Chains A and B, each alone.
Chain A
Amino acid sequence: MSLLLQYGIIVSVWILSLLLILIIPRQKRRLAMVAFLFKQYITCIFGHAVVELKLLTYPVRELADVSRTSFTYEYMAYPMTCAVFNTYYPSHRGRWVQFGYYVLFTTVLTVVEVLIEQYTDLIRYVRWNWFWSWATIFLTFLMTRAFCVVYFGTMTRVETAKQKNAASTTRS
């Protein structure tokens, strides 16, 4: 595949993931922001470790002099998918529906990655296969979801505690 076309893929990934902001509902923007940033943080560490161990390489990449990891994927595309994942998470549905939601997002991301690996030079598997991708994507989604649940769960508790304190002080 020609180099120009692969850079075109990178640019279109940026545009697509920036357009994904539009489908996040207004009242869920805080959740999306926390999910996005936390995912970016853990992806940065894992991505660097994986490239350092030479399990993966990214032959065609942006900012090629600075880093051997894929800045687009780690900085924008993957965290933005996770933000969308968290905003539409079916938290009031059954356990199997939630599991299926994880499997859906993970499988779509893995299929796209395998297609990109097959037909372009954007990513090469050295000692890696699609199942490792699938498992790490699943685990990072799980970690981010757990982080968001803990973050927003404790936040409401803090607010109610403040209200309780205020109520008790006014009463006394």
Chain B
Amino acid sequence: MAMDVERNLLLLVWFVCITTIYFLVPRAKAHEFVLCFLVCQAVGWIVEVLLVQFDLVAYPLREFPKASDLNITFKVVWTPVASVYSIIFLSVRCLASWFFRDRKVFRKEANER
């Protein structure tokens, strides 16, 4: 039972990622999205392999249990899509100004405005 729930969760991850790509990514940012996606999966592959190699993470339920100890859903869709959304939709400047809103870092700009 629990196994089925987990497998359905993995399917849900695929579904959510693909539908949100279709609806959230604007057409003008499609190329940026694709390049970010591919770079993120390339970096994420090495990171996940090293995490599993040094026993920091384990994926007991995975798609290809004989072929690999990695979870292919996380490697192929989940981490790339999440990191791409953070790159495309979150502006670092906006986050920083929110984080330092009471400090003196952005005070000068606020005065100028």
Contact = CB atoms under 8 A, between A and B. Distances in A.
A contacts with B: majority SS: helix
Interface of B: 28, 30-31, 34-35, 38-39, 41-42, 45-46, 49, 52-53, 63-70, 72, 75-76
B contacts with A: majority SS: helix
A67 B31 contact: no
Contacts of A38: 38
Contacts of B69: 65-67
A128 to B, nearest CB: 15
Interface of A: 33-34, 37-38, 40-41, 44-45, 47-49, 51-52, 54, 63, 65-69, 71, 75, 151, 154-155, 158
A49 to B, nearest CB: 7
A49 B65 CA distance: 10
Nearest to A75: B45
18 contacts: A37-B38, A37-B42, A44-B72, A45-B76, A47-B67, A48-B63, A48-B72, A52-B64, A52-B65, A54-B66, A63-B49, A63-B53, A66-B53, A66-B69, A75-B45, A151-B31, A151-B34, A154-B31
